[in-house]
Amino acid sequence: MKTQLGRRKTTAFIIDAPTRRPHSPTMFTFDMINGPAGFDPLIILLLAMAVEAYVGEARLVFRFVRHPVVIIGHLIEVLDGKLNREKRSQTDRAVRGFVTVVIVVALCGAAGYAVAWLSRNHPWGWIIEFLLVVSLVAQRALYNAVRRVGSSLQGDNLEQSRDAVSHVVGRDPAQLDSHGIARAAIESLAENFSDGVVAPVFWYVLFGFPGLLVYKAVNTMDSMIGYKTPQYHAFGLSAARIDDIVNIIPARLSGLFIALAAVFVPTANPLKAAKIMLRDAGKHRSLNAGWPEGAMAGALNLALAGPRRYPGRVVKDPWIGDGTAKATHRDIRRALYLYAIACLINAAWVAAIMLIRIDLLP
C-alpha cells in the first residue's frame, strides 16, 4: 500500500514519479499504474505481510464490508447457477466453464487495477490496498488454524480435533484417528503455505495488486468448481487447469523455502527435505501440492499423503516421504516452527527485491 508522506526526496522509501522511476520493472504493471503519490508497492506488500503475521487478517474491517474472497465466491456461485445446468452437454458445460473463468478473471483484474491506480494516485488510497493485501495473505490465519488442531490433539480431545481439522482440509475427518488428524493438518499447512502465502506474494511482486486479486480469484474458482465430480468435471476443467498453471512456480518456491527453513530448525533435516521433495513430488495426484508436502515430509522425517477419504470417495495415493506415518501433536508443533521460518524467508526475498529497486543494494 502506498502512503503519502509528502514529497521529501531524502526519504528512501518514497517514489516521486515525475523525478524518479524504477530502474528495473520488477512489477510488470508498475509503469501502467504509477502515479505521483505513495510508497513503492513492495513496501506496501511487506508492511501488509508484517501486520497480518502479527494480528491476522483485518476482521474488524470486514465486519462492515464484505471480504473480497466472499464477493468473488458469490460471483462464482451466480455464474455456476446460471451456466452449469445438468441438461447441457459436457462440451457445452466445458465452454461455459471457460467463459466463467474469463468473466471472473476480467472483473477481478479490472477491480485490482482500479485499487492499484487509486493507491498510486490518491494520498490516502494506499490504505485500501494495504487492508486488502492484509486480508488476502493468510500467514497468521493458517498458523492459528493448524495450531488449534495441535492443541486439541495434545488435550486428547479427538472429536474437537476432528472439528478443528475440518476447517483446514477437504477430506472427511470423521474416520481419522489422532495420527491421521495430525498428518492432515501438516499436509494442509504445507499445501496452503504455497496457495495462501507464497503464491499471492509471488503474483503481487510480478503484477501488483491486480496480480494478487486475479490469483485469489483463480484459486477460489478451483476450490469451488475445480472438483472432478459429475457436476464440475467439465464445467470446472478450465478453473482447475489454470490454477495448476499459476501455481507451478509458487509451489516449487514453497518447497525450496521449507527446505531452507529446515536449516534453522534444530529438529528438521534440510538435506532430506530437498531429497524427498525432488524424489516424491511427482507422486502426488496434484501437479503442485507434492512440492511443499515433500519438503515438509522430508524435513520432519514423516510419511504424508497416502490413502485418504474425501466426501463420497476414497483416494488411494502413494505415501510421500519414508519416515513415520504416526504423526502427533509434537510433529504439528515442529511443522509450525518450520512454517514460521519459511514465511520469514518468503518475506526476505521480497525485501531483497525492494532494496534493489530503491538502490540500497549495489
Give tens-digit pLDDT for 304-333.
988 776 666 667 788 999 999 898 999 999
Q: Which three cell numbers stand for residue 224?
A: 469451488
What percent of the chain shows pLDDT beyond 90? 52
Q: Is the pLDDT assigned to residue 220 strictly greater than 90?
A: yes
Q: Which three cell numbers stand for residue 260?
A: 531452507
What percent of the chain shows pLDDT beyond 70? 85
Give tens-digit pLDDT for 236-292.
899 999 999 999 999 999 999 999 999 999 989 999 999 999 999 998 888 899 999
Alpha-carbon span 321 to 295, nearest angstrom:
9
Q: 25-40: string of b/e by CB count within 10 Å (b at 16+)?
A: ebbebbeebbbebbbb
Q: What is the pTM of this model?
A: 0.85
Q: C-alpha dihedral over 245, 246, 251, 253, to 10 degrees?
A: 120
Question: What is the residue whose three cell numbers read 518450520?
Answer: 338
Alpha-carbon span 350 to 40, nearest angstrom:
12
Q: What count of other Cβ atoms lies within 10 Å of the Cβ of residue 211? A: 22
Q: Which three cell numbers stand for residue 123?
A: 494520498
Residues 255/191, Cβ–Cβ less than 8 Å: no
CA distances to 112, 154, 221, 349 from 203, rounded to whole Å, are: 12, 37, 17, 13
Give 276's contacts (C-beta < 8 A, 6+ positions apart).
294, 295, 297, 298, 320, 321, 322
- The CA-to-CA distance between both ends of the chain, in Å, stands at 25
**Cα 102 → chain centroid:** 21
CA distances to 186, 247, 264, 298, 357 from 330, rounded to whole Å, are: 11, 30, 18, 16, 41
Strand ranges (DSSP E) for 205-262? none
Q: How confident is the model at residue 65 (pLDDT cuts 50, 70, 90)?
A: confident
Among 201, 187, 190, 186, CA closest to 136:
201
pLDDT at residue 2, rounded to an integer: 39
**DSSP 8-state assignment for residue 61:** G
Alpha-carbon span 18 to 25, nearest angstrom:
16
Which H or E run contains 185?
Answer: helix 178-193
Alpha-carbon span 261 to 217, nearest angstrom:
29
Residues 76/221, Cβ–Cβ less than 8 Å: yes
Give 335's contacts (C-beta < 8 A, 6+ positions apart).
146, 185, 186, 189, 190, 296, 300
Which H or E run contains 310?
Answer: strand 304-310
Residue with more model confidence, 19 or 39: 39
Q: How confident is the model at residue 9 (pLDDT cuts 50, 70, 90)?
A: very low
Question: Kindly report the CA angle at 218 between 216 and 222, in degrees rounded to 5?
Answer: 115
